[in-house]
Structures are given as C-alpha cells and as structure tokens.
Structure 1
C-alpha cells in the first residue's frame, strides 16, 4: 500500500503535466490561427505587386467599411499617395521612431497601376491605422 500511493501520485503528476502541455499547445494553435486570420496578402504575380497586412483586428474592421467598388480607383490612388508620403516621412523622422508604429517604408510610386484591390486594401489599412493608433496622416 505504501508503494502504491507514491506511484499513483507520480502517475497523476505526469498526467497533469501532459494535460497542461496539450492546453498550451492548443492555445498556441488558436493564437496562430487568429494571427493568420488577421494577415491579409494580396499579390499580383504577373505585375510583381504585393500587399501584406499583418495587423490584429484588421480583418474584422475591414468588413465594417464601405465595400469594394464604393470608391473609384483614382480616389484611392490619390489618398494612398498622400498617406504613403506622410507615413514614409515619419519612418525617417526620429521623433516617431520611439512609438514603433513607423518601422518600415512603403514602396508606393505614383504612375504605377497597382490595381484596385491593392489600392483598396492600402487605403483601408491607413484608415484602420489612423483610427486604431490615434494617428493623423492627412
């Protein structure tokens, strides 16, 4: 009897540890799925243009915005050009480096047709960015 109780306790301890690891793995899988759901990738391989937005909450926010086709492409291009210029200026300005919001420049050039989808997502990302982080790019 004296040997059964410690053996039983050891077995329960091992099972408890294994259960905790499974829960942690399930939590990590859920976190990874959530992050992948918040990643938007639009690519046009023939034109070599790509936009990848990795921002928690962007997908759910995007569905609350005006649908594709609400704005014409020229309006989106004009707004994006101005927003990208201001965003890139802040990337290079040391006053904004402390916030970690402006980490990498965006390569968006006037005169290049990126297509409607890229312009639509970039436009909405800037709207989301301004609203979420209380930043004004315009």
Structure 2
C-alpha cells in the first residue's frame, strides 16, 4: 500500500494531506498535466468547488455511495496551502471523478 499513498506535510501551517487510493500514484505520474500548467489560483478555485461538493456528499450517506465519500476534507479557502498541495488535491479530484464516474461540479477534464 505504500506505493499507493501520497503524503504532503507542512509543519509551518500544521497541516497534513494523505491520499490513499490504489492507482492514484500511477495515474498522477502518467496522466496528470505537468506542474505549473495551471496557476495556483486556478487550482484553488477548482478545489473549493470540488471539495465543497465532496463534503456535501459525505453528509448525505443515503444519497451517495458511502464507500466513495467516507470522510470530509478540511480545505479552508482562506489558507494558502501552496502550489503543491493544491496541485495534488486538484489531480486527485480529477482522478476520482474520472475513475469512479462521478461529477462533483462543472467541467471535469477527461484523463
């Protein structure tokens, strides 16, 4: 399972992001767009929309698959998480929506 885990930490901001999903690391290396293709503000705007919808679905376990939406994502739009965190969250959301045929909000780039 170690190869399927992406971990990002920032001690200064006291946050940690752990993505555990079989296949994400391989997908990220082979199908994601390169870093700096999108601006940080673009990634943040998409993440705000997608994480917001994700969290709404977590709170509606009878309407959405509990196995897909297990826990909320603590993403505060007022915190500057930096480019790398936003890049990885954005790409996980693209991966998730394409892999599990989910549409969280708006346009999802096919990959």
TM-score (norm 2): 0.89
1:107 corresponds to which of 55, 74, 85: 74
How far apart are the structure 2 equivalents of 1:99 and 1:106? 14
Q: Deviations over 1:82-121 (max 9, x none)?
A: 001100000001311x441001000001111011111000
Tell whether 2:16 aligns with 1:50.
Answer: yes
Structure 1 segments unaligned to the other structure (5+ residues): 1-34
Tell whether 2:99 aligns with 1:120.
Answer: no
Question: What is the alpha-carbon root mean square deviation over aligned residues?
Answer: 0.9
How far apart are the structure 2 equivalents of 1:109 and 1:45? 17
How far apart are the structure 2 equivalents of 1:72 and 1:104? 28
Of Structure 1 and Structure 2, which has the larger fraction of its residues in helix?
1
How far apart are the structure 1 equivalents of 2:89 and 2:36? 14
Regions of 4+ moved over 4 Å: none
Query: Rg larger in 1 or in 2?
Result: 1
How far apart are the structure 2 equivalents of 1:61 and 1:123? 13
Report which structure shows greater RCO (CA 8 Å, sep ≥6).
2
Paired residue total: 103
